[in-house]
Amino acid sequence: MPTKNKSILHRISRWALIILLIILLMAIGFLVYMQTNAGKAFAKQRLEKYLQEKLDSRVSIGRLET
């Protein structure tokens, strides 16, 4: 394989690895955030809003436990 093709393949694989690592770190960050009180409050608020729109009724969630 010519050197130029190796270089291009190496650059593509390195960028793919970087992108995968970023996605993994974002997923881990999201999971950690959802364990905090702020994350639970955010999820609770979004769930209540979604259910109220779907059920066309008032919905209240006491608390979320993990």
- Give the Cα-Cα-Cα angle 31, 32, 37 (nearest 5 degrees): 110
Q: What is the pTM of this model?
A: 0.69
Cα 37 to Cα 11, 22, 28, 45, 65, distances in angstroms: 41, 25, 17, 12, 10
65 has a pLDDT exceeding 60: yes
CA 63 distance to own-chain centroid: 21
The alpha carbons of the chain give a radius of gyration, in whole angstroms, of 21
- State pLDDT tens for residues 10-51: 999 999 999 999 999 999 999 999 999 999 999 999 999 999
